[in-house]
Amino acid sequence: MFSHVFKYRMKCFLGDRVTLFWTMIFPILLSTLFLMAFSNFSKATGFTGINVAVVDNNAFRENKPFQDALASVAEKRGDEEPLLSVRLVSREEAEKLLGDGEVHGIILLDPDIKLVVNQRGFNQSIIKSFLDQYQQIRASYSSLFQMIPELLASRDALEDFPVDYDFLVEKVPGKNETDITVTYFYALLAMTTLYGSFWGIRVVHETQADQSMEGARVNVAPVHKIKMLLAGMLAAWIIQFAELAILVLYMSTVLKVSFGDQAGCILITCLVGSLTGITFGTMVGGLIKRRYGLKIGVMLGITMTMSGFAGLYFASFKYKVIKAVPIMAYINPANLITDALYALYYFDTYERFALNIALLMAFAAVFCLATYLSVRRNRYAGIPSIQESD
Amino acid sequence: MPVFQAYKRVIKKNIPQLMIYIVVFVTFAAILMSSGVPASIVKFDDARARMVYVDEDSSVLTEGLKSYLSRYADFADVKHDRASLQDALFFEEVDYILRIPAGFTENFMAGRPVEIEKTSRPSSTSSVYLDMNIGKFINTARFYLANIPGISQQELVDRVSADLSVETSVEVISADINPDFGETLSIFYNYMSYVILNLLILGVGTFMLVFNQLDLRRRTLCSPVPLRQQNMQILFGNLIYAMVCWIIVMALGFVMYGNAMPAKQAVLVALNTIVFTFVSLSISFLIGSTLRKREAMSAVTNVLSLGMCFTGGAFVPQYLIGEQVLSFARIFPTYWYVRFNDEIINMPNITWDLLKPRLGYLGMQLGIAVAVLAVALVIVKQKRQAENA
């Protein structure tokens, strides 16, 4: 009997185009939009060299040391962008370039070195740091010569000002590159996982006699109700898991979103996550009696808020929420899913991943229990008339 | 005006659903506001990166470096364990982590090669900036150390700090509107397009869905109110509804950012918004006259509004969106709406010459509106003929 019910539940669910749309097609479309929206992200936030206009006046032409210093930072440093891209122009032209946003700042020798900008930011400050440095090095030399005048005479004894940065050693932060945009995709996956509750709500709705016509019908059938419920949940779980697997496959192969390389762990996340999602739905379905629309509304409200806290709208929100309220790292299922994927992507160890998965399973167990308590032993003296459309 | 009265009732019943968008919008705007309204800049300050300074050596020299760096960076309050630091860097809470290993000062003072560990997001501007300023400190110290054997840590720090306090003078020209705040305003008004679009599609679409039910349609057609008048009333209802939506969102904008924008900009942005409202109305009309089912409508609404807003730059600034996507997005009104806002809000002085080319963006929106409306009217006409047959 179980297999019979299971088979027909599968058939019914696979014919439910509306739910299939929300649990699979919609996330696929949204992830595509995410990709489009971030297509220029790394280019726009990365360092691309700074444009400066240098006013070509007499003071500049006569200042050979400054010209040399400028030339040294305008050269390509290996395969990196040069620090400054310099344009030699007249004063009027320089101001026009600045006004049009073609350059970040104007260097003017008047005859003291001066910087002209129209906004502040890292680019402008880097130009200033460079100009500061030029004058600071001169200050260092002159204060040294003041202290030890002999050095001025015997140049051989003088150690030149060092220019290399060899002492700064770059350490890689995590296993993969820091790329905050992956969080959006992970949070989207978390949202989709919790959308499994669409199925969950439907499962309960169609087994409760006071909620739908189908429920009333199956209640008079000689099958144990829990068996009925479990068959529906199993069908929903399989479908939801397949949908998630398709979504992950789409994201990683078509959209080239990086998930790290532990396919097995990602599938475990999907499997456990979809169970959490579905049981969340059955719980909402069980606790809220009647009104299908209300159940969907409550479920969507909670899901979208949780996903928001997990970084769906602003990736850095996930971090800020947890920093402000640390417990949110453990009690928000959407965050658990996002964090599990993030931990796989970024961390070398599996502890954080394992903790997230364990907590997800705990949530599924709690939701199951709540569902069971809300639907067990329901008896009806009579059922209010159920309208098809509601 | 029975048709108009029916319109009002349908909208009234849907107010809770419509309110969701308003509430989310207000919350969003409030979060945006909490970042504060900075005053316009009159004097140049050095940009500040956010960094974590992990000092495992704690000497006069490393303390000196830290106090020098406080000119260029704010020290974030992050725990120094590995996972917290990794998290903070990933989620852009900090830009830069500097770790000075134990024994650094001893080796440095003895002239032995030293290492400082830095961790930052690859090739970010803030990391170039901090590299440069850390380099200045260390290199100046190395310079003195090499030339004055036996210099003490304290003297070294004093000398280096004195030299590094030499600053270039900076002149700031024409900064009427603070670029930081311009961005906040752009984000707010660009996001508004999503709200307008949804309010209109849901409101107008729902009404037309109700009104176009076959039986209801047949019933109204045989009523004594002439068809022309019915259509006029629907049109009237649509326009009133669109205006009300526009007034609500603009009022929100006014309450929150009323005094943040110069008058000229405010008028132009309001004009842009009203044009966009009109485009949204014609899109809603098209959707309402094509679709028959509520479920289908919510799917189409979401896909269409999210699609147009994402690719057009309503959520993510246009400079973050790739060239190809943007050139495709030109067929959407959101693209032109957002572009107009971005350019107008960040324009310090609006002159007719600067404004003239931008009026074309409004023209594009109107063009799209007319095209969509034409398609919708053809569909309506065809449908009516099909029903008659």
Residues A269 and A335: beta-carbon distance below 8 Å: no
Structure tokens at B245: 């939506």
Q: Which residue of B has its CA nearest to A148?
A: B148
The Cα A213–Cα A384 span in angstroms is 11
pLDDT score, position A240:
96
- Cβ neighbours of B21 in A, within 8 Å: none
Please, which residues 306-365 of chain B have a Cβ atom closer than 8 Å to chain A? 306-307, 310-311, 315-316, 319-325
Q: Which residue of A has its CA nearest to B121?
A: A178
Q: What is the C-alpha radius of gyration for chain A, rounded to an integer number of angstroms?
A: 32
Residues B76 and B88: beta-carbon distance below 8 Å: yes
Q: Write phi, then psi, for A306 (nearest 5 degrees).
A: -60, -40
pLDDT score, position A199:
95
Please, which residues 147-186 of chain B have a Cβ atom closer than 8 Å to chain A? 147-148, 159, 162-164, 166-175, 179
Q: In this predicted model, what pLDDT tens digit does every residue of A297-308 receive, in sequence order?
A: 888 889 988 998
> Which of B372, B190, B383 lies closest to B281 in space, CA to CA?
B372
Domain ranges of chain B: 2-38+176-388, 49-164
- Cβ neighbours of B173 in A, within 8 Å: 95, 98, 116-118
The secondary structure element, H or E, covering residue B289 is: helix B263-290
Residues B277 and B365: beta-carbon distance below 8 Å: no
Q: Is the peptide bond before B179 cis (omega within 30 degrees of 0)?
A: no
Contact: B166, A45; criterion CB under 8 Å: no
Place of tokens 């970024």: A346
Beta-carbon contacts below 8 Å between A and B: 229
Other CB atoms within 10 Å distance of the CB of residue B212: 18
- Cβ neighbours of B306 in A, within 8 Å: 29-30, 33
pLDDT score, position A78:
63
pLDDT score, position B33:
63
Q: Which residue of A has its CA nearest to B83?
A: A347
Q: Provide the whole-model pTM.
A: 0.84
- Cβ neighbours of B86 in A, within 8 Å: 173-174, 346-347
| Region of B322 on the Ramachandran plot (φ > 0 left; ψ -120 to 50 alpha; else beta) | beta
CB-based burial label for B177 (10 Å; 0-12, 13-18, 19+):
buried
Cα A319 from chain centroid? 10
pLDDT score, position A332:
94
List, for chain B, all residue ranges whose pLDDT scores fall below the cut of 50.
36-41, 177, 389
List, for chain A, all residue ranges whose pLDDT scores fall below the cut of 50.
388-390
Residues A270 and A193: beta-carbon distance below 8 Å: yes
Q: What angle do CA B146, B148, B152 make, to 5 degrees?
A: 105
Contact: A177, B168; criterion CB under 8 Å: no
Structure tokens at A370: 């709540």
Q: Letter for the amino acid at B225?
A: V
The Cα B272–Cα A212 span in angstroms is 48
Q: What angle do CA A121, A36, B328 make, to 5 degrees?
A: 105
Superfamily in which the B49-164 domain is placed by CATH: abc type-2 transporter like domain (3.40.1710.10)
Residues A190 and A273: beta-carbon distance below 8 Å: yes
Q: In this predicted model, what pLDDT tens digit does every residue of A202-220 receive, in sequence order?
A: 999 998 888 888 888 888 8
Structure tokens at A153: 């005479």
Cα distance between the two ends of chain A: 30
> Which of A137, A378, A353 lies closest to A260 in space, CA to CA?
A353
- Cβ neighbours of A300 in B, within 8 Å: none
Most B CBs within 10 Å, among A22, A25, A26, A33, to test the B interface: A33
Dihedral sign, Cα of residue A24, residue A25, residue A29, residue A35: positive
Angle between helices A333-346 and A351-375 (to 10 degrees): 160
pLDDT score, position B389:
46
Other CB atoms within 10 Å distance of the CB of residue A164: 9
CATH 3.40.190 domain locations along chain A: 51-157
Contact: B142, A41; criterion CB under 8 Å: no
**Nearest residue, CB atoms, A129 vs list B88, B129, B147:** B129
Q: Please state which of the four CATH numbers 1.10.10, 3.90.550, 3.40.190, 3.30.160 is assigned to the domain occupying A51-157.
A: 3.40.190
